[in-house]
């Protein structure tokens, strides 16, 4: 992945001894066998996966400047290639709203059979999604939702509130088992202004409340390795004793873990977020504070392609009674620990 080199350079050049911890967190290592491609278990095999009407699926997503986003694009492409009846037509990924609108307009003009769109901003791309729908092209809205339900045929995404709940229950249970009272619990968010971040924080607070706990300090880290490192360093300096940390994002977690290693701190447990392969290997090795991560899997892009194909072919989901694909599908947020990490590793993405 293109940003791994930059991440490796940052950690080695700027963090000294912390680079030893981070070295296992890059996809350049021989152990990095799991990929962010669609897992083998999802390959076409019977039922609705039998070849049908030829369809063209257009795909648009933000630029792959983040491990999770990169995995979204890889999963979509890998799944489309599994079907002989699918022509996959991606447009250039971009973080520019106007460029993404223009790219989707080109797919509408090409009269694709269906569109899978992960918008940079659902509000700002709502009108172009409505235009596609009005042109008779079903839209599968991936992750960041369009505010107008008429703008998409089906939405598929993760459960941000559920991520917080899962992280809160893991930490709450672990601290109760240790008979910890009045714990110091820190929360490192992604981008604080995003609704998805606010949902994650609310889920976390609500779950902790059931144990009689609350967040001691909260700071956002912008989903980047560098900011994750800076925020973690600041929080570690501000709190001489910590019981638990929830870091919302495994990509920024590379920097968080490096800061923890550099500070020589290990008196607390940490839970990650999203389910990167890097984090999973850290959990599997069981030699750092990272004990779990809660999923927000980019495999949702694989599911979006499958749904777009079924919708374009006029099919429903074979395991359901209904004749049509559901209007909304929310993936569960699952907790990955050393006990179950092996089954999740093939689904991991590289930070």
| pLDDT tens digits in sequence order for the chain, 351 residues long | 333 323 323 333 333 333 222 322 222 222 333 344 444 434 444 579 999 999 999 999 999 888 999 999 999 999 999 999 999 999 999 999 999 999 999 999 999 999 999 999 999 999 999 999 999 999 999 999 999 999 999 999 999 999 999 999 999 999 999 999 999 999 999 999 888 899 999 999 999 999 999 999 999 999 999 999 999 999 999 999 999 999 999 999 999 999 999 999 999 999 999 999 999 999 999 999 999 999 999 999 999 999 999 999 999 999 999 999 999 999 999 999 999 999 999 999 998
At 13 the pLDDT is: 34
3-class DSSP state for residue 176?
Answer: helix
Instruction: Kindly state the DSSP code that residue 137 receives in the 8-state scheme.
Output: -
What does the alpha-carbon distance between residue 113 and residue 314 come to, in Å, rounded to a whole number?
11
Q: What angle do CA 177, 179, 182 make, to 5 degrees?
A: 125
- Strand-pairing partners, residue 277, are none
What does the alpha-carbon distance between residue 227 and residue 240 come to, in Å, rounded to a whole number?
21
Residue 263: other Cβ atoms inside 10 A:
13
Return the HEC string of 295-323. ECCCCHHHHHHHHHHHHHCCCCCCCCCCC
In order of their start, the domains of the chain are: 3-31+160-296+340-347 (3.40.50.2300), 40-158+298-315 (3.40.50.2300)
Torsion of Cα atoms, 81 then 301 then 47 then 343, to 10°: 100
Torsion of Cα atoms, 110 then 78 then 147 then 63, to 10°: -80
What does the alpha-carbon distance between residue 73 and residue 70 come to, in Å, rounded to a whole number?
5
Q: Which of 152, 135, 112, 117 is nearest to 312 (CA)?
A: 112
Q: What is the pTM of this model?
A: 0.81
CA 248 from centroid of its chain's CA atoms: 10
**b/e 160-172 (16+ beta carbons within 10 angstroms → b):** bbbbbbbbbbbbb
Q: Which two tokens stand for residue 100?
A: 């993404």
- Strand-pairing partners, residue 273, are 294
Q: Which two tokens stand for residue 188?
A: 């490192």
């Amino acid at each position: 992945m293109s940003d791994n080199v930059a991440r490796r350079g940052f950690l080695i050049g700027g963090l000294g001894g912390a680079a030893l911890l981070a070295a296992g967190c890059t996809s350049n290592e021989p152990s990095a066998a799991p990929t962010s491609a669609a897992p083998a278990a999802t390959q076409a095999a019977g039922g609705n996966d039998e070849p049908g009407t030829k369809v063209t699926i257009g795909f648009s997503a933000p630029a792959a400047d983040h491990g999770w986003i990169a995995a979204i694009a890889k999963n979509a492409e890998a799944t489309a290639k599994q079907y002989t009846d699918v022509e996959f037509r991606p447009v250039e990924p971009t973080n520019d709203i106007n460029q993404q609108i223009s790219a989707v307009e080109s797919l509408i003009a090409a009269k694709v059979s269906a569109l899978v769109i992960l918008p940079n901003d659902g509000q700002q791309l709502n009108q172009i999604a409505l235009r596609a729908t009005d042109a008779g092209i079903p839209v599968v809205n991936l992750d960041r939702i369009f505010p107008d339900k008429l703008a998409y045929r089906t939405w598929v995404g993760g459960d941000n509130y559920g991520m917080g709940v899962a992280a809160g229950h893991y930490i709450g249970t672990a601290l109760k088992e240790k008979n910890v009272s009045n714990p110091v619990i820190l929360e490192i968010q992604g981008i604080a202004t995003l609704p998805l971040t606010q949902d994650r924080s609310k889920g976390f607070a609500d779950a902790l409340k059931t144990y009689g706990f609350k967040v001691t300090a909260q700071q956002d880290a912008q989903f980047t390795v560098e900011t994750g490192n800076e925020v973690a360093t600041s929080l570690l300096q501000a709190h001489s004793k910590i019981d638990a940390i929830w870091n919302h994002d495994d990509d920024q977690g590379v920097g968080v873990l490096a800061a923890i290693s550099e500070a020589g701190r290990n008196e607390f447990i940490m839970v990650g977020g999203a389910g990167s392969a890097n984090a999973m290997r850290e959990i599997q090795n069981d030699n750092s504070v990272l004990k779990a991560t809660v999923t927000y899997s980019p495999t949702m892009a694989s599911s979006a392609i499958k749904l777009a194909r079924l919708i374009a072919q006029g099919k429903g989901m074979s395991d359901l009674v209904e004749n049509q694909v559901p209007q909304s599908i929310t993936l569960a947020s699952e907790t990955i620990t050393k006990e179950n990490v092996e089954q999740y590793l093939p689904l991991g993405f590289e930070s």
